[in-house]
Amino acid sequence: MDEIIATDLHGRMGKINLGREDVTTPTLLPVLDPKNNIIPAEEMSKKFGFNFIITSAYLFFKRFGFPDDSMKIHEITEFTGNIMMDSGAYQILAYGDVEIDALLSLEIQSKLGADVGVILDVPTPPTDSYEQAKLKVEETIRRIEISLDHIKSHPETRWTLPIQGGKNTQLIDKYIDSVTEKGYLDFFKFQALGSVAPIMSQYDYVSLFSMIQTSRRKLPYNVPFHLFGAGHPMIFPFIVALGCDTFD
């Protein structure tokens, strides 16, 4: 966080300076398809007042292929505010696989000029056993390791550390301990908890809140914390009180 204005419980009102416009938190990020939208991005800004949205590097790749030098995500979406790009991990969660790898996803995000980027982690849905989730957490850590050179060479993007482990909160603990011990936290200016969409669809708020609480307790307080796939206005007050600064 670049400025903290007020706090209550674990929530805070603050500002994040992303270069284009300051983002006042807590805030909701509308999800936009990079090509097809019922509500145009420009209308999101002018009519509804959003200055921060999220779109998908994987969906861009599916719609347009690898971007050439003239393609920038702000021009393509016609959105002048801040844009976060998800890596494609949500599509892995929903469909099981994607046709891009971790490094290609990073290259797409950098080429397009994303303000906030995310590495391609491996989701840990609630159907996973402990051992299945553990293997996916280990693979996400491996992907962080192979992504570091790209992240270091593209500091203009605020890169996001994805948090995995799912309902197995002890895995979230171990994951955060591991990336902390390896010194990886310093390279990420955002943090984001993933794999919550299936938990949300089951209205399993106890597990969701436990995942958020475990993550926030272990992570640096001064770094913005995003919740992927929050999805339902019913929980917005609770996730803000637990320390989520942004959510989509």
Per-residue DSSP letters for 180-226?
Answer: HHTT-GGG-SEEEE-S-HHHHHTT-HHHHHHHHHHHHHHS-TTS-EE
Compute the distance between CA of residue 182 and CA of residue 175 in angstroms, rounded to an integer.
11
The SS3 of residue 3 is strand
**Mean pLDDT for back-to-back runs of 10 residues, the chain (248 residues):** 94 94 96 88 91 95 93 95 91 77 96 97 95 97 98 98 97 98 97 94 95 97 95 93 98
Compute the distance between CA of residue 141 and CA of residue 131 in angstroms, rounded to an integer.
15
Compute the distance between CA of residue 35 and CA of residue 62 in angstroms, rounded to an integer.
10
Compute the distance between CA of residue 124 and CA of residue 131 in angstroms, rounded to an integer.
11
- State the Cα angle at 114 between 112 and 117, rounded to 5°: 120
Compute the distance between CA of residue 32 and CA of residue 63 in angstroms, rounded to an integer.
13
Residue-wise pLDDT for 45-59, tens only, equals: 999 999 999 999 999
How distant, in Å, are the alpha carbons of 11, 48, 98 from that of 91?
A: 29, 27, 7
Residue-wise pLDDT for 115-138, tens only, equals: 999 999 999 999 999 999 999 999
The answer to whether the beta carbons of residues 30 and 54 sit under 8 Å apart is yes
Domain ranges of the chain: 3-247
Q: Which of 8, 68, 86, 186 is catalytic?
A: 86
| Those residues with Cβ within 8 angstroms of residue 203's Cβ, 6 or more apart along the chain or in another chain | none
| Those residues with Cβ within 8 angstroms of residue 58's Cβ, 6 or more apart along the chain or in another chain | 86, 87, 88, 91, 98, 100, 105
Compute the distance between CA of residue 203 and CA of residue 208 in angstroms, rounded to an integer.
9
115 is a catalytic site residue: no
Fold of 3-247: TIM Barrel (3.20.20)
Q: Is 210 exposed, middle or buried (0-12, 13-18, 19+ CB in 10 A)?
A: middle
Cα–chain-centroid distance for residue 202? 21
What pLDDT is stored for residue 90 in this prediction?
Answer: 76
Strand 246-247 with 27-28, pairing: parallel
What pLDDT is stored for residue 4 in this prediction?
Answer: 96
How distant, in Å, are the alpha carbons of 49, 122, 207, 245 from that of 28?
A: 11, 24, 21, 9
